[in-house]
């Protein structure tokens, strides 16, 4: 679904149909700011399992709703291109429903991974999941080109009609039998546990209260928000940087994202494989990923300031490797920073931090470009150098914040004891309590 939106829908709507870019990009970004629904859905699922299942029903329903919306998108896009105000309203409505569905789906599948994996296997599982998520985008692009090599309204409709069977097929294959059904007494125990470990009130107020009262929760939320913001601030302006500073062609700047993405895949693959055989401290992994990515950003800043185009691709590859390490470490910590009875609520909270970090970075990148370069205030090479150094600073700051967060203190704040072997292993790897 995301491949269709970010590779196909945006191009067709803006270029072929002539829809204003700001309308399309705003629609595509809406799901980031609907992420608070992750907290609501997670809290509901923790307290009120459906037929004994907390995650499976929500994933099936949200997948079905979101995939069915794609059947209507070609018609809506064509009407938007014709200038229909009603179609624009319908388009925004569809993307609101899509954003809520994605919030429900995202919280549920992260919570499911947390509940069906052990702390030891979690890093490897996350690596596999994310590697295949990235590879699925490549596969989706192949399918798009095969089904609809050239744009026509009919061909676009045929392509988008494939969404429900593909989405529901993969969801059912992936999750049926994965979650254990809770018995009646287990549901009662889960509901009681949910009341004990989280504040009373509606899900959003409960999440806000957790951020206010628990320093470990607040610190980890800040870490996710700042680190994601810093990593993805360059995402929308990277190719523009190559053109404005070095006069690179489209073909040359098109190599930027694959180079970075290849590094991310390699970093996740290596860390996932290593975690399968050796116990690796997840906090150290995430902090190392932050610092390494910051170094790559620093090299990129020097490339801008000193006009060193030869170091761009190597710095992007280095950034990618350490970002892959960051992904494995931080995602594993997200799942460790949950408690039984409130897994969905906490995964929703971390999901909000991720989404807000990505959404704010998307808006900020354009704002920085317009205010610094578009206004003529700063020369492009200096402006990009400042932006990349700012990203590096934010990543180092995020690493410092994470260094002060303790999973042990988080668990103790919820009355969860830590096993002696966990303490011994923590001392062996030099973790700070």
Q: How confident is the model over 372-401, as a mean pLDDT?
A: 93
* Alpha carbon distance 264, 312 (integer Å): 16
DSSP 272-293: HHHHHHS---HHHHHHHHHHHH
State both tokens at 126. 């996350």
Which residue spans within 277-404 are E strands per DSSP?
A: none
The neighbour count for residue 420, using CB atoms within 10 Å, is 8
Question: Is a pLDDT exceeding 90 seen at residue 230?
Answer: yes
Answer yes or no: are the C-beta atoms of 323 and 234 closer than 8 Å.
no
Q: Where are the alpha helices (DSSP H) in 56-202?
A: 56-81, 85-116, 119-147, 153-160, 163-175, 184-197
The model's pLDDT over 331-358, given as tens digits with 9 standing for 90+, comes to: 889 888 888 777 878 888 888 898 889 8
* Alpha carbon distance 338, 47 (integer Å): 15
State both tokens at 413. 């704040």
Q: Where are the alpha helices (DSSP H) in 198-255?
A: 203-213, 215-232, 238-246, 250-253
pLDDT band at 198 (very low <50, low <70, confident <90, very high): low
Radius of gyration of the chain (CA): 22
Q: What is the pTM of this model?
A: 0.76
Question: Is a pLDDT exceeding 70 seen at residue 427?
Answer: no
């Amino acid at each position: 679904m995301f491949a269709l939106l970010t590779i196909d829908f945006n191009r067709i709507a803006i270029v072929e149909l002539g829809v204003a870019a700001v309308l399309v990009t705003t629609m595509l970004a809406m799901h980031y700011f609907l992420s608070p629904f992750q907290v609501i859905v997670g809290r509901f699922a923790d307290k009120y399992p459906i037929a004994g299942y907390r995650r499976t029903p929500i994933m099936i329903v949200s997948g079905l709703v979101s995939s069915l919306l794609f059947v209507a998108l070609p018609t809506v896009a064509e009407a938007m291109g014709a200038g229909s105000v009603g179609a624009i309203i319908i388009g925004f409505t569809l993307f609101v429903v899509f954003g809520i569905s994605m919030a429900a789906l995202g919280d549920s599948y992260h919570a499911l991974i947390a509940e069906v994996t052990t702390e030891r296997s979690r890093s490897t599982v996350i690596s596999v999941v994310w590697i295949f998520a990235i590879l699925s985008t490549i596969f989706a692009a192949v399918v798009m080109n095969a089904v609809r090599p050239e744009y026509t309204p009919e061909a676009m409709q045929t392509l988008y009609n494939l969404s429900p069977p593909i989405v529901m097929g993969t969801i059912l294959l992936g999750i049926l039998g994965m979650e254990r059904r809770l018995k009646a007494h287990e549901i009662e125990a889960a509901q009681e546990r949910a009341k004990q470990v989280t504040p009373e009130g509606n899900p959003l107020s409960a999440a806000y209260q957790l951020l206010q009262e628990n320093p470990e929760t607040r610190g980890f939320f800040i870490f996710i928000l700042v680190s994601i913001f810093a990593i993805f601030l360059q995402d929308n302006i990277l190719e523009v940087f190559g053109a404005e500073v070095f006069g690179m062609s489209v073909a040359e700047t098109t190599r930027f994202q694959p180079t970075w993405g290849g590094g991310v895949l390699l970093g996740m693959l290596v860390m996932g494989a290593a975690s399968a055989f050796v116990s690796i401290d997840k906090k150290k992994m995430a902090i190392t990923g932050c610092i390494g990515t910051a170094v790559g950003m620093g090299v990129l800043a020097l490339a801008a300031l000193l006009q060193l185009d030869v170091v761009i691709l190597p710095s992007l590859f280095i950034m990618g490797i350490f970002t892959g390490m960051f992904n494995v470490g931080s995602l594993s910590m997200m799942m460790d920073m949950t408690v039984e009875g409130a897994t969905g609520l906490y995964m929703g909270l971390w999901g909000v931090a991720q989404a807000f970090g990505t959404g704010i970075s998307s808006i900020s990148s354009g704002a920085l470009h317009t205010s610094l370069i578009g206004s003529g205030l700063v020369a492009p090479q200096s402006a990009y150098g400042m932006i990349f150094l700012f990203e590096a600073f934010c990543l180092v700051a995020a690493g410092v914040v994470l260094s002060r967060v303790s999973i042990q203190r988080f668990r103790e704040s919820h009355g969860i004891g830590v096993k002696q072997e966990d303490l011994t292993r923590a001392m062996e790897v030099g973790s700070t309590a």
